[in-house]
Amino acid sequence: MNPISNEYKTVFSTVPFEEIKNEHYLPALEEGIKIAKDNLAKIKANPEPATFENTIVALERSGDAVDKVAEIFFNLLSAETNDEMQEIAKEFSPKITAYGNDILLDAELFSKVKEVWENKDSFSLDAEDLKLLEKNYKSFVRNGALLNETQKSELRSIDEELSTLSLNFGNNNLKETNKYEMVLENESDLAGLPDGAKEAAAMIAKEKGYEGKWVITLDYPSLIPFMTYAENRDLREKLYRANTTKSCKGDELDNKENVKRFSVLRHKRANLLGYASHADFTLEERMASTPGNVGEFLENLLSKSKPHAQNEIEELKKYVIANGGPEDLQNWDTAFWSEKLKKEKFSVDDEMLKPYFKLENVIDGVFQVASKLYGLNFNERSDIQKYHKDVMTYEVTDESGKHIAAFYADFFPRATKRNGAWMTAYRGQSNFAGEEKRPHISIVCNFTKPTETKPSLLTFNEVTTLFHEFGHALHGMLADTKYPSLSGTSVFWDFVELPSQILENWAYEQECLALFAKHYETGEVIPSELVQKIKDSASFHAGMGTMRQLSFALLDMAWHSGDNSSVDDAEAFEKKAMESTTLLPKVDGSMMSTSFGHIFAGGYSSGYYSYKWAEVLDADAFEHFKENGIFNREIAKKFKDNILSKGGTEHPMELYKKFRGAEPTPDALLRRSGLI
């Protein structure tokens, strides 16, 4: 029997990872699709008039078996992949795409949905029912239900090619990252690196068979410390070039043609559906609404941040020259010299802070924050099956002891995991048809690993990353809706980052840090003067940081706001798209697009601006907490009841106004960043 297709007889019905093998995925998918198609056939064959229950609710439940296997497969394809899984994905992904199109392009099924939509006033539907109906109707229309058969066939072809492109793009990046090794034989090449980073480099070398040497990789816990602290400028340049030329070297892992093809196909798809561009299509279902609004938003931030960024870069250049550095400041110099300037200005750096951020303590810290705000408790469980030995597993309960969620945490880099950090779910929350299902939530990160002499000590950036992903996790855990497709993080993309980004704010507050930031050797709580230095330095180079984010958002919009079929040189196209944000000379041969997984292998196409958009929301929202106390339970309840629990059941701006009382303005963000 296939362990994926069976009913799980595990604690909390969690995924039986230890029983699942690669050969189970495709049969489970095929069985799930068969069940789903049988369910859809029953909806269409029902002789009764179409109703909300017999059509929309039935449609919501029809694909449960497909969702179950897809969630497992695609999550592990990112977090614990292997060559065999990547081969399976080449068949799995097109099958999922075809299955989705079979539903959305089914004229008979759409006629049933349309009938319910047109007669919605005759049913006794609450607000959430209406939202589900609207989402279903729009989903059909936005994915081709009104097209003729020739057009539907073209749409299917485009979607299948896009799914294959996405897999190839991600696989190329992962292989490119995994194959790079900068092997160092002389300890002098590591001059400037903290002891922990040296020890980690030696440990990587040992794992890779280079006993007695040091290896630097493109995994962030290896890359970032080297770029920040290594005194050898030539080696920093070498590493920078390796990182910024990923998948754009003209070899078998090159993504330049994939990027151009993505842009062309997405534009063609949007035109087919009656939209001027992919950005117009995407933004119809976003808070920002139109490409024009996004452009105005980005230009507003650009005009306010660019003068600050230019002043910051000039100050840095003067500092570098005054301290014997190069007169031609380059991109591989900025992290190194910025860290020195930051330490001189604020007397604080990561090495000073890391002893206070032992991973286990930071985990306990986010748990305590969740307890103080929302009354949650996290109990580690050894009886929840794992997909890798490093994964930590918990049961989440409320103050009364009621089960709220199962929680997985996966923190360290490995060759089978892609770079970055993300939150995901193995089961979403729902409560309809007489059955309440609580969610199974996971966060996946790539943090500094423990060494033979030191525990995992996080940089402050890693601390805020953990808070960020845990904020997403709370959005999933505290979901309280009827329907799974409206639950948790199933919200507009430019709203989904609010719960994650707002939680980062707590990591800067003394009242929060005092709970967990304790020296791993002495147990001393982080001194208040050090916390003040963290806060004082938080807006250091905020202009440059904002420009970096804006450059990515502008690049995203450039690829998706028009017809790029005539683009021949992807590198030149990228350079033009980002030129308004360029502060230092571009390095020939380097590209962002070819490793820009967010927009080409993730869900952020025409949506990268949402990080800055959500910063406006989170800065404004956190001011409400600050005014009333960062652990104020009444404000936390308002945030939980109106944001975290509601998912996509209402328009996000309406939810936000219910929490805050008014729409946000950028002022809070600009104040926090020191830009006004």
Catalytically active residues are 469
Q: How far apart are CA 572 and CA 591, in angstroms?
A: 10
CA proximity to 492, closest of 661, 640, 650: 650
For residue 406, report the phi and psi dihedrals to the nearest 5 degrees. Answer: -100, 145
Where do runs of H (alpha helix) occur along 409-520? 460-477, 498-504, 510-516
| 135 residue type, one letter | K
Contact criterion met (CB below 8 Å) for 239 and 590? no
First to last CA, the chain: 63
Longest dimension (CA), the chain: 83
DSSP symbol at 430 = E
The pair of three-digit structure tokens given for residue 185, joined into one six-digit string: 């034989």
CA proximity to 664, closest of 445, 473, 501: 501
Three-class DSSP category at 333 = helix
Edge-first strand listing for the sheet containing 440-444: 377-380, 392-397, 403-410, 440-444, 422-427
Query: Which residues, 6+ apart, have CB-to-CB distance to 214 below 8 Å?
Result: 183, 184, 187, 189, 190, 198, 201, 202, 204, 205
Query: Which residues, 6+ apart, have CB-to-CB distance to 102 below 8 Å?
Result: 37
Q: How far apart are CA 259 and CA 462, in angstroms?
A: 30
Give residue 579's Cα distance to chain centre: 26
Contact criterion met (CB below 8 Å) for 440 and 405? yes
The pair of three-digit structure tokens given for residue 569, joined into one six-digit string: 């040189």
Q: Where are the beta strands (DSSP E) in 433-554?
A: 435-437, 440-444
